[in-house]
C-alpha cells in the first residue's frame, strides 16, 4: 500500500519554499488501530507527508530549471520534534523552506501546523539519485499534476448604469465603502465571490488591470458649475471661494487607479507580489508569467464605461495554465478576458 500524504500543493516559490495541505478524516484506515476510541494521526505519517513535500520540492525545482530530474531520497532527519498531535477533522498545513541545494543533495526546514499551532518541525536532507526508469518518471509527473490540481476558477459580473453594486456582505469593515467608486465596488464583490471559503496563502500574488476610463466625473461637474460667472466663463475667484469647497477629500481615493487592488489586498490580507496594469490582456497575463510563485495567483480586471455600465472579472490561475493560454497575445482590454473565459473555455470552473 502506498500512502499519498499530500492532498494538494498550494504554493510553490521556486528557490524559496513550498506549501501543501493534508486533510485528516476519521475514514482514514490508520485510525482502525491508532487508536481505538482515541484516534490520533501517527507522527510517522506527518513526517512522511513533510518528506513527500520536501522531495517533491527538489524534483519540481529541477524540472523548473530544465535540468535532468533525479529522484529525491530522504537520507537524514535532523532536529525533528513533534509538538502537538493531529486528529480527525484537522487540516494539516505543510511547509518546506529551502536551506541549501547542491548537485548531489538538498536540505529543507519543514513544519506542519494546524490553525497556526505547530504540530511538528525539523530539518530533512535528501540525496539525489539518477534512476533511469521511464515508468517511474511518468508516474511521478502524474503525481505532481495531481498535487497541483488547482483548477482555474473564474467570476465575471456586469452591472447596468443605474444598478446598485451591493458590496457590504463582502466587507469586514463596512465603513470603507464610502471610498469606493463603481469599479472598486464591483472588484470587491468579484474577489469576494471568488475567494469565499478558500484558504489561500497571504503571499499569493495579485495582479489587477484597470480599464481605460471613458467617463466618470466624481462630482467634477459641480465644481465647474460653481466656478463659472454669470456669462458661463471660468472665474478664478469663484473657483477659490466656491468651486474648491465642492471637492470632497474622499474623492481623492476614488480617482486613484490602484484602489481596487489596495482594498482587496486589505480585505483578504494579501501581502504577496502585486501590480496594477493598464489596458491589455497580454500585459496582465505577462505579469502572471513573471510571478515568483507557481500557484495560486489572483488576477482581476475592471472597467467603468461611458454610460455607467461596470464590469469586473477575477480568476485564480497558475503559471502552467497561463503558459499555454491562447490569450497571451490578445491586445484588447483585460476585462474582456474574463468574459471570453466564461464563454469559450470549457475546462474552467465557474463559481
Identify whether residues 51 and 89 lie together within a single domain: yes
Looking at the domain assignment, is residue 249 inside a domain?
Answer: no
Active site residue 34: yes
Q: Provide the pLDDT for residue 343.
A: 62
Q: Provide the pLDDT for residue 298.
A: 94
Looking at the domain assignment, is residue 3 inside a domain?
Answer: no
Query: What whole-number distance in Å separates Cα of residue 124 and Cα of residue 118?
Result: 17
Looking at the domain assignment, is residue 271 inside a domain?
Answer: yes
Looking at the domain assignment, is residue 244 inside a domain?
Answer: no
Identify whether residues 121 and 79 lie together within a single domain: yes
Query: What whole-number distance in Å separates Cα of residue 34 and Cα of residue 24?
Result: 13
User: Mean pLDDT for each 10-residue chunk of the chain (351 residues)?
Assistant: 74 81 86 90 95 92 80 95 94 94 95 94 95 75 59 80 90 86 92 84 91 59 82 87 74 74 93 89 91 88 89 88 77 85 47 30
Identify whether residues 131 and 116 lie together within a single domain: yes
Identify whether residues 104 and 123 lie together within a single domain: yes
User: Among 126, 147, 168, where does a domain finish?
Assistant: 147
Q: Provide the pLDDT for residue 151.
A: 47
Q: In what order do the strands lie in the sheet with 206-210?
A: 274-278, 206-210, 297-304, 310-317, 153-159, 349-350
pTM over 0.75: no
Q: Which set of grid coordinates corresponds to residue 27?
A: 475514514
Identify whether residues 98 and 199 lie together within a single domain: no
Looking at the domain assignment, is residue 111 inside a domain?
Answer: yes
Q: If you write DSSP's letter for every residue of 173-218 in order, what string do you get?
A: SGGGGGG--HHHHHHHHHHHHHHTT----TT--EEEEEPPP----T
- Give me the domain span that covers residue 75: 8-147
Handedness of CA 9, 11, 14, 15 (dihedral sign): negative
User: Among 132, 147, 162, where does a domain finish?
Assistant: 147
Instruction: Locate all alpha helices (DSSP H) within the chain, ordered by sequence.
Output: 43-64, 134-147, 182-195, 220-226, 236-238, 251-254, 259-268, 281-289, 319-323, 335-344
Q: Provide the pLDDT for residue 172.
A: 87
Q: Provide the pLDDT for residue 313.
A: 93
Do the Cβ atoms of 78 and 124 come closer than 8 Å? yes
Q: Provide the pLDDT for residue 134.
A: 74
- Domain total for the chain? 2
Identify whether residues 312 and 176 lie together within a single domain: yes
Identify whether residues 187 and 70 lie together within a single domain: no
218 in the Ramachandran plot: left (φ > 0), alpha (ψ -120 to 50) or beta? left
Q: Catalytic pick from 34, 268, 287, 348? A: 34
User: Among 92, 123, 147, where does a domain finish?
Assistant: 147
Looking at the domain assignment, is residue 238 inside a domain?
Answer: no
Query: What whole-number distance in Å separates Cα of residue 209 and Cα of residue 188?
Result: 14
Query: Could you tell me the CATH number of the domain that includes residue 109?
Result: 3.10.129.10
Identify whether residues 171 and 54 lie together within a single domain: no
Identify whether residues 98 and 196 lie together within a single domain: no
Looking at the domain assignment, is residue 316 inside a domain?
Answer: yes
Query: Could you tell me the CATH number of the domain that includes residue 339?
Result: 3.40.47
Query: What whole-number distance in Å separates Cα of residue 185 and Cα of residue 154?
Result: 18
Q: Which set of grid coordinates corresponds to residue 16?
A: 524559496
Identify whether residues 92 and 177 lie together within a single domain: no
Identify whether residues 28 and 158 lie together within a single domain: no
Identify whether residues 305 and 199 lie together within a single domain: yes
Looking at the domain assignment, is residue 250 inside a domain?
Answer: no
Amino acid at each position: 500500500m502506498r500512502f499519498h500524504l499530500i492532498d494538494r500543493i498550494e504554493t510553490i516559490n521556486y528557490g524559496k519554499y513550498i506549501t501543501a495541505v493534508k486533510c485528516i478524516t476519521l475514514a482514514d484506515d490508520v485510525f482502525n488501530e491508532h487508536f481505538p476510541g482515541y484516534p490520533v494521526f501517527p507522527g510517522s505519517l506527518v513526517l512522511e507527508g513533510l518528506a513527500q513535500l520536501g522531495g517533491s520540492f527538489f524534483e519540481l525545482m529541477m524540472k523548473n530549471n530544465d535540468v535532468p530530474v533525479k529522484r529525491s531520497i530522504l537520507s537524514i532527519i535532523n532536529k525533528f520534534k513533534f509538538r502537538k498531535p493531529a486528529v480527525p477533522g484537522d487540516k494539516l498545513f505543510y511547509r518546506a523552506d529551502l536551506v541549501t541545494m547542491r548537485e548531489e543533495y538538498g536540505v529543507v526546514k519543514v513544519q506542519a501546523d494546524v490553525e497556526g499551532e505547530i504540530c511538528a518541525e525539523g530539518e530533512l536532507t535528501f540525496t539525489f539519485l539518477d534512476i533511469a526508469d521511464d515508468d517511474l518518471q511518468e508516474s511521478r509527473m502524474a503525481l505532481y499534476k495531481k498535487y497541483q490540481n488547482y483548477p482555474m476558477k473564474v467570476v465575471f459580473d456586469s452591472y447596468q448604469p443605474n444598478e446598485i453594486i451591493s458590496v457590504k456582505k463582502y466587507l469586514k469593515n463596512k465603513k470603507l465603502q464610502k471610498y469606493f467608486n463603481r469599479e472598486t465596488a464591483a472588484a470587491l464583490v468579484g474577489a469576494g465571490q471568488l475567494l469565499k471559503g478558500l484558504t489561500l496563502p497571504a503571499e499569493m500574488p495579485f495582479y489587477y488591470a484597470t480599464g481605460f476610463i471613458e467617463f466618470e466625473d466624481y462630482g467634477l461637474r459641480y465644481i465647474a458649475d460653481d466656478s463659472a460667472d454669470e456669462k458661463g466663463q471660468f472665474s478664478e475667484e469663484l473657483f477659490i471661494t466656491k468651486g474648491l469647497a465642492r471637492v470632497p477629500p474622499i474623492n481623492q481615493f476614488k480617482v486613484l487607479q490602484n484602489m481596487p487592488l489596495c482594498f482587496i489586498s486589505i480585505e483578504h490580507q494579501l501581502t504577496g507580489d502585486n501590480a496594477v496594469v493598464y489596458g491589455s490582456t497580454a500585459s496582465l497575463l505577462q505579469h502572471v508569467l513573471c510571478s515568483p510563485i507557481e500557484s495560486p495567483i489572483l488576477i482581476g480586471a475592471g472597467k467603468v464605461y461611458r454610460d455607467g455600465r461596470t464590469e469586473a472579472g477575477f480568476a485564480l490561475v497558475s503559471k502552467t495554465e497561463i503558459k499555454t493560454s491562447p490569450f497571451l497575445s490578445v491586445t484588447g482590454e483585460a476585462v474582456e478576458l474574463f468574459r471570453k473565459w466564461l464563454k469559450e473555455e470549457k475546462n474552467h470552473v465557474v463559481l
